[in-house]
Amino acid sequence: GIQVEQSPPDLILQEGANSTLRCNFSDSVNNLQWFHQNPWGQLINLFYIPSGTKQNGRLSATTVATERYSLLYISSSQTTDSGVYFCAVSQAGTALIFGKGTTLSVSS
């Protein structure tokens, strides 16, 4: 099956810093999503991005499908950005396969 690797596993930042999270996947996919899991366990959809670049406020994401990786950029981080960030992929019509996540801690 498809393997999904996320890096770094843990990230500690001061408020206002920028960060880049990486997701590598082992096969071609039709779907790639980034999620933020908040302290209450809710998975919040950040981006649906099987290819290309998208931006939403302080967050942006880029997927290079031909090279099988995706990047999530967080600029001017805030304490509310803390939590676990998951990358997940799927092929046509199948369920998502998740990476192990990146745990982000932002301190004030």
Residue 77: DSSP 8-state: -
**Binding residues among 69-98 for other proteins as defined by CB under 8 A:** 86, 88, 90, 92-96, 98
**DSSP of 8-73, one letter per residue?**
-SEEEEETT--EEEEEEESS--SEEEEEEE-TT--EEEEEE-SSEEEEETTEEEEEEGGGTEEEEE
Q: Which two tokens stand for residue 104?
A: 């982000």
Closer Cβ to other proteins, 14 or 39, answer by number: 39
Closer Cβ to other proteins, 45 or 56, answer by number: 45
Which of 13, 25, 33, 104 is in the footprint of other proteins by CB under 8 A? 33
Which of 7, 24, 31, 60 is in the footprint of other proteins by CB under 8 A? 31
40 binds other proteins (CB under 8 A): yes
Phi then psi dihedrals of residue 82, to 5 deg: -60, 150
Q: Which residues bind other proteins (CB under 8 A)?
A: 4, 30-31, 33, 35, 40-43, 45, 48, 86, 88, 90, 92-96, 98-101
